[in-house]
Structure 1
């Protein structure tokens, strides 16, 4: 009798094993539906977060570059060569022959200016707005910028701080710092 009972138990165990080989079609469809809902919620949130971080990064880089340019102008006015000296080309603040590349190199922020941001399909590159004496990342048409309340600077005196080669590499221009002049506005 024990043998019969053992055989029955073994058969029951075998049936239990064979009956749970995989997932049913309904179970798979439910899991896929749940994943689709989660993806529909997560993708816009992630995209918004990426855009926000790019804007913050561009604003921070622009502020850093602007501060470096203002420091270099002050050093040039004071004839102070303690920071802004380029041993390769002999440019220095006291000679008033510093270039934008010299300034960014001295402050080790060349990569900040050479950064290109693509937001909502528009490319933004580093520019100096001589009218406002500010640095922005602006679109090619200068009608949209990152970090400026009224985005259109197309009517301003704008100097590109970077150039893009045919191979897509971005480099800092060698514009003389003295060319980044203050422009007098009406009422000044």
Structure 2
């Protein structure tokens, strides 16, 4: 079982079937808040949907193609974060994340994104970490900016968000930049 301690308050844990109820409750309780920027909420209507998400994440981890973890804050599931994609050929990982509404504003995701970047570049020996943020999502964009990622460009109409497209702003950092 993958568990990565971030600091005394935070850790990242690969989700198991036993976590489905708690993760679904967090998702359901933050549904309206998360809906502004996340397109998958209409596909997560039951605990069974969350179990399928967990199984998919575990499969991606076992195949070394992705790593989806739960963010554990003072013992509670606060959200998810990880590598949406691990490209071993080009040594690139793409970080994705979300937090439940009640966990916002505590610096949690900045610490998590830093830990994931450290892990990717220093442990997995990747060369590049990328974070894509829906244009206009200032809270999410503040995270890579705080960590020294460079804004690299915009992908127009990158994601369908219920009834409209949103652009994605790409933030990236290279191993040699991170080590400085």
TM range (shorter): under 0.3
Structure whose CA Rg is larger: 1
TM-score when normalising by structure 2: 0.24
* Between structures 1 and 2, the one with greater strand share: 2
Give the alignment's TM-score, normalised by structure 1.
Answer: 0.24
